[in-house]
Structure 1
Amino acid sequence: MRIFLTGGSGKAGRHVVPYLLEQGHTVTNADRAPLGLAGVTDLDVELTDLGQVLSALRMPASFDELDEPREQAYDAIVHLAAVPAILLRPDNETYANNVVSTWNVLEAAAVLGIRKVVFASSETTYGICFARGERRPDYLPVDEEHPTVPEDAYATSKVVNETTARSVQRRTGADVYGLRINNVIEPHEYAEKFPGFVDDPAQRRRNIFAYIDVRDLAQAIDRCLATDDLGFEVFNIANAGHSVRASTSELIQQFYDGVEVRREMGEDETFFCIDKARRMLGYEPVHSWREELGQTAGG
């Protein structure tokens, strides 16, 4: 597929782009900073400017395409670009950037007839990650039906983006898939961070003790590109197990006493339920911190 990918130079994007290339896709990276990867055109695009987004989507993806007699359309947009968290910019800037850029990407797709958009939503939509004080899930495991009631500018922008995506999909009939992505972990971060998580699992409370290996995120995006005719859908994207050594029953006893557990769970099964992505996309994470660090459940 010919893919227009925003934010390809960011933490997730710089792993997603080469993965998609390996699957045979052609990728244009729309980012304010270049990725500098062979075979990928870097476009400096201000995504909060609808004119720039439309113009970029009509441009050739490479000089080689100048030999083609007609313009080539993009098959899909993967929208990862965003201010990625709170406390990086003033809240109003975070909200405005994330909402307007996503509106522009979706509107441009509608205008140009691009029939698939995959966009980054967030674990934060459930209102736990960036809340003041402690917030606990309404129930476990947290699936896509769980209420989304955030208090912060970042998570609220993501909830708004999901509403925008649903609206555009209803208007166009295209496939628009939102990924509620958990805490993204790069391979080098296992050795840096996870020994501390093992010693102090409370560090992971705001992430519902979950995480997503960036390589498995890339797989999830590719599965979205390969899966058609779902209309509008949102999917939790995480790895299969907890980000700590403590078991499900131990974590419930220590952190979630009194929270409804709606079904039997495995002793290392993520609280950030990925059943829907498995069922509808064929997503199956393959990486884990235990594998990376040579850890077992008991030691």
Structure 2
Amino acid sequence: MNTISPTLVITGAAGGIGGPVARAALDAGYRVIGADQTPFELPGAAATLVGDLRDQAIVDSVFDAAGPNVYAVLHLAAIPSPGQFDDHDTLVRNVSSAYRVIGTAGERGVRRIVAVSSASAVGFAWADRDLTPDYLPVDEDHPIVAVDTYGLSKVFMEQIAAFTHRRWQVPTITLRFPFVGTGERLRYRLDEMAQSPATGSRDLWAWLDTRDAVTAILRSAEVPFEGAEVLNISAPDTMSPWPTRDIVAAAFPGLAVPGRVGEYGGLYDTTRAADLLGLTEYHGWRAGA
């Protein structure tokens, strides 16, 4: 790393993922500009700004604080799950803030944009009906079947990132995360998964340790890359205590699980992330992991 610390702009820096990302970035020697709608403290940051990222003046102040030659923008600011606002507000809040931040990053010619999307973009997690994947494991080319506005907001964000690359030629990497957690948050979710084989089917029983989410985001900022890419990032196993073929049979009768999926193997294909980010090792929750 150069003697002049590269600058990262991190939105959602007060969040459950954004906070750990910001602290890890500082530990790695980056100059960090943190922004969030919620007041927060980030010792060591070059600047912290609090405000609504749907407001262009707030977004401009974030980039003004960062100065020229921003190494990467890490956009994590978003409504973390549906139900906090009505459908219209959920869509508008997520899409508007994404366009303000990602579009401004493109206009200002940053080196890289990394945006955190969600596995919800595919459409299973928050649907008002039961949906069955076309195939397993689900890769980034699986058709979008979203019928909820939260998932739709993530689809729009991914398209905003792709648009920004086309318009300003800024490389963009968008990461689809499933449930993310560690510690008590993860233990609570694991207890839910143990209720029955079908519990968690809408999420395809997927999960990601917070530490691995941090690694994926920072690697996305650092790896050599030109283009616009969407990547699945998910642990290589499920959160269910039952074998993968048993839970799939319980929730999706007749849906095949390929032989390459292990006994407790995860159901999101992460091959592209392994190839681009070198992300092949993940934290696990099972005994011995």
Q: CA RMSD in A?
A: 1.8
Among 170, 174, 188, the residue aligned to 2:166: 170
TM-score (structure 2 length as normaliser) = 0.92
Is 1:7–2:12 an aligned residue pair? yes
Aligned residue for 1:288?
A: 284
Contact 1:53 1:105 in 2 (8 A): yes
Give 2:105's aligned amino acid. A
Map Cα deviations across residues 108-133 of structure 1 (whole Å, 9 max, x no partner): 11221112110011111111000112
In 1, distance between residues paired with 2:52 and 2:95?
13
Among 240, 256, 267, the residue aligned to 1:244: 240
Is 1:129–2:125 an aligned residue pair? yes
Equivalence map 1:17-56=2 (5 Å): 17-40=22-45, 41-56=47-62
State the shift of 1:107 in Å.
Answer: 1.5
Structure 2 spans left out of the alignment, 5+ residues: 1-5
Map Cα deviations across residues 134-188 of structure 1 (whole Å, 9 max, x no partner): 1121100000010112111111011111112111101122110111111111322
Contact 2:249 2:255 in 1 (8 A): no
Give 1:226's aligned amino acid. E
Equivalence map 1:77-226=2 (5 Å): 77-226=73-222
Contact 1:20 1:218 in 2 (8 A): no
Contact 2:37 2:53 in 1 (8 A): no
- Report SS of the residue matched to 1:278: helix
State the shift of 1:228 in Å.
Answer: 2.4
In 2, distance between residues paired with 1:174 and 1:94?
27
In 2, distance between residues paired with 1:187 and 1:20?
21
Contact 1:139 1:262 in 2 (8 A): no
- Report SS of the residue matched to 1:266: coil
Map Cα deviations across residues 207-237 of structure 1 (whole Å, 9 max, x no partner): 1011011110000001101112231000011
Contact 2:175 2:230 in 1 (8 A): yes
Give 1:120's aligned amino acid. V
Give 1:252's aligned amino acid. V
Contact 2:107 2:168 in 1 (8 A): no
Among 57, 66, 77, the residue aligned to 2:63: 57
State the shift of 1:257 in Å.
Answer: 2.2
Stretch of structure 1 that moved more, 24-33 or 92-101: 24-33
In 2, distance between residues paired with 1:145 and 1:261?
17
State the shift of 1:296 in Å.
Answer: 6.4
Map Cα deviations across residues 50-99 of structure 1 (whole Å, 9 max, x no partner): 2321232012x5xxxxxxxxx54321100000112111111111111111
Contact 1:139 1:259 in 2 (8 A): yes
State the shift of 1:262 in Å.
Answer: 5.1
- Report SS of the residue matched to 1:148: coil
In 2, distance between residues paired with 1:2 and 1:88?
33
Aligned residue for 2:266?
A: 270
In 2, distance between residues paired with 1:165 and 1:192?
33
Moved over 6 A (4+): none
Aligned residue for 2:227?
A: 231
Map Cα deviations across residues 228-261 of structure 1 (whole Å, 9 max, x no partner): 2231000011111111111122122222222244
In 2, distance between residues paired with 1:36 and 1:278?
34
Aligned residue for 2:3?
A: none
Give 1:173's aligned amino acid. Q
In 1, distance between residues paired with 2:253 and 2:260?
15
